[in-house]
Amino acid sequence: MKINRATYEEWAARASKELGNKPLDGLMQDYGGLSVKPAYFAGDLPEEAAGETPGVAPFTRGVRATMYANRPWTIRQYAGFATARESNDFYRRNLAAGQKGVSVAFDLATHRGYDSDHPRVVGDVGKAGVAIDSIEDMKVLFEGIPLDQMSVSMTMNGAVIPVMAMFIAAGEEQGVPVEKLSGTIQNDILKEFMVRNTYIYPPEPSMRIVGDIIAYTADHMPKFNSISISGYHMHEAGATAVQELAFTLADGMEYVRAAMRQGLDVDRFAGRLSFFFGIGMNFFVEVAKLRAARQLWAGIMKDFGAKDPRSMMMRTHCQTSGVSLTEQDPTNNVVRTAYEALASVLGGTQSLHTNSFDEAIALPTDFSARIARNTQLILQHETRVTDVVDPLGGSYYVEALTSQLVAEAGALIQEMEEAGGMTMAVQQGIPKERIEEAAALRQTRVDRGEDVIVGVNRYRVEEAEHVDARQIDNMKVREEQIAQLKRIRETRDQARVDSALAALTECAAMDEGNLLAAAVEAAKARATLGEISDAMEQVFSRYSGVTRVISGIYDKAYEADPEYKALGARIADYASKHGRAPSIFIAKMGQDGHDRGAKVIATAFADMGFTVHFGALFETAEEVAKHVEEMGVDAVGVSSLAAGHKTLVPELIGLMKAKGLEDVPVIVGGVIPEADYAFLHEAGVAEIFGPGTNVLEAAFQVLDRIEGRLSNR
């Protein structure tokens, strides 16, 4: 029976009565800018939905007519740690077990353009990815992996020029010419300025780098995707679905313009662009997000003058959400990842990475990585979801969500265009501020129990289960990398290196020629990653972002909460007794640029009444200790997401003791294996807060420590 308006009104009246005569409009839930009704009918379907065909522009229903019935999505697990040798062994084991592509995670020293012997990266080498200092490391990384047959994805943005140069040169030295290399380089620098922060150079020269890579690959690498425009890191930083969709596609528009400024016709390069989205736990919204993305991108590229249907076709890689993983009751993450993977597939992704259940604790073990990989294999071979194209197509709810996402994201894209495009919007901090507000709002809902997280704010287990975590001996890895660097510098032709680096600097200064082409010659000469980065830094300079902390989010969310009022009263009492509010310095040490957690804490604590000082990104322990001494703060909060805590935190505590600040409590938060808690406490850490910690409860504990410190004096 077809549902008409009268039938809908009859249903609505009955439903309202069942709900105690509450208006149905009051049941509509806010989904980060999307209004979701309690039921959908045929009248909610957009007119165009019925006529759309898979494999035909605007590709809402999928990029290929047969989708997975002809070929399933690519299983591409993102991994990298310690040395190139250890990562290579891990890749080869996974490939033998059914993985279909290699996706490389680089350590933060590499991302930020530093060699492993640089003094600023002592705690970062090999910890959150693999350390790559030279072409020799790159050759070992892919040893035994046929680069003319295997697709390689590399998540790299800041140091994209030396990494791509070393990949190309390593391929040639292994007998694979550049034109046969296939895969994807992320090369998405705008989102780094918004959320991830592993940038090196300012926005304008960074955009030149993007354009040079697109031009080089268009000329020499027909099988290689020159850019993967990433919404994933926006998702992880707290962006709503609308924000992730709009800002990602707006970034894509800037990259298209950058390529066209290189003189490239849009149809010559557009088919090699790809996109990367995060997939969270709002199942149907995530399905609709991918469908809406394809529809929007097809229209955008048509407006750019694309005529080839492949130029209008959005290819996507997806990764299940890292921020949805919990340290508490971590085996629940297996279930979360499976649902997110299913949403990716029903949304029509071309490749997929599934997170391991222990990634809120540490880097994945072989055991957890096998579960993550098998999640995809089970989806492909046992669930039969590959049999039918776009199985949710025609769903009243999914089609209505898709249409609403297109409209809302389209409006936000237009707003960014009116701000001068995404490069200008990023420089003004507009997207960053919007995402940080969304993240803080989300955290208040979790803290208050309005958004239920099983095992975190409801259905908690009495006793936490033990989970084996992968441990990386950071100092051992760094020593190995430094020894390798020493060998390279002693055996290379230094005159050839100097000449190649000088040519690269000249290319940067002249604003002509291709930076990647010049860097390939430097990589072949055995110039290191840091040296290649420095050669461009001489011209471009190194960028330092401006840290802003938003306010008012927690005050509004908690205005009637008795515990929040009690904390405010304690802080006011403290201020009355001591003539000032309690103060905390929040530090980000090392090269980890993920600052969502630190920003949420800064926002919340400032709203609660603390005086909050937020340090610059990428500081050393020595710089943080100096700030603590000069500011005279009552506590130090260290945010750690990249496993540098065992090196950097003890160093900070030692430096503070040397300055007579041993009574200032040091609080550590972030992704920290429980096995490391005893080590940190022994080193002098006062409190440790893992992912999922209730911010209000943390504030009470920090205030207890501050008041205890003063009473013990």
Active site residues per annotation: 78, 232-233, 588, 592, 594
Phi then psi for 570, rounded to 5 degrees? -65, -40
User: Rounded distance, CA 6 to CA 14, Å?
Assistant: 13
SS (H, E, C) 32-82: CCCEECCCCCHHHCCHHHHHCCCCCCCCCCCCCCCHHHCCCCEEEEEECCE
Give strand pairing partners of 155: 105
Is the N-terminal amide bond of 691 cis, ω within 30° of 0? Answer: no
H/E stretch holding 538 reads: helix 529-540
The DSSP string of 217-237 is: HHHH-TTEE-EEEE-HHHHHH
CA distances from 318 to 322, 325, 555, 621 (A): 12, 16, 35, 36
- Nearest to 327, CA basis, from 455, 433, 435: 455
Beta carbons of 680 and 609 less than 8 angstroms apart: no
Residue of 176, 105, 174, 162 lying closest to 134 (CA atoms): 162
Sole residue written with tokens 């072409």: 135
Which DSSP symbol is given to 194? I
- Give CA–CA dist 148/101, Å, rounded: 12
Dmax (CA) for the chain in angstroms is: 84
Strand order in the sheet with 635-640: 611-614, 583-587, 635-640, 666-670, 687-689
Full DSSP string of 505-529: HHHHHHT-S-HHHHHHHHHHTT--H
CA 467 distance to own-chain centroid: 24
d(Cα 229, Cα 687) in Å, to the nearest integer?
A: 38
Based on its alpha-carbon atoms, the radius of gyration of the chain, rounded to whole angstroms, reads 26
Q: Look up tokens 């001591």; give the residue.
A: 578
Contact 592/641 with Cβ under 8 angstroms?
yes
Strand partners, 29: 36
Output the six-digit token pair for 446: 């979790």
Indicate the SS3 state at residue 278.
strand
Distance of CA 460 to the CA centre of its chain: 28
At 136, which amino acid appears? E
480 contacts 507 by C-beta, under 8 angstroms: no
**With b meaning 16 or more CB within 10 Å and e meaning fewer, what string describes 486-502?**
eebeeeeeeeebeebbe
- Name the nearest CA neighbour of 631 among 599, 587, 692: 587
At 201, the amino acid letter reads: Y
DSSP 193: I
CA distance 316 to 293: 9
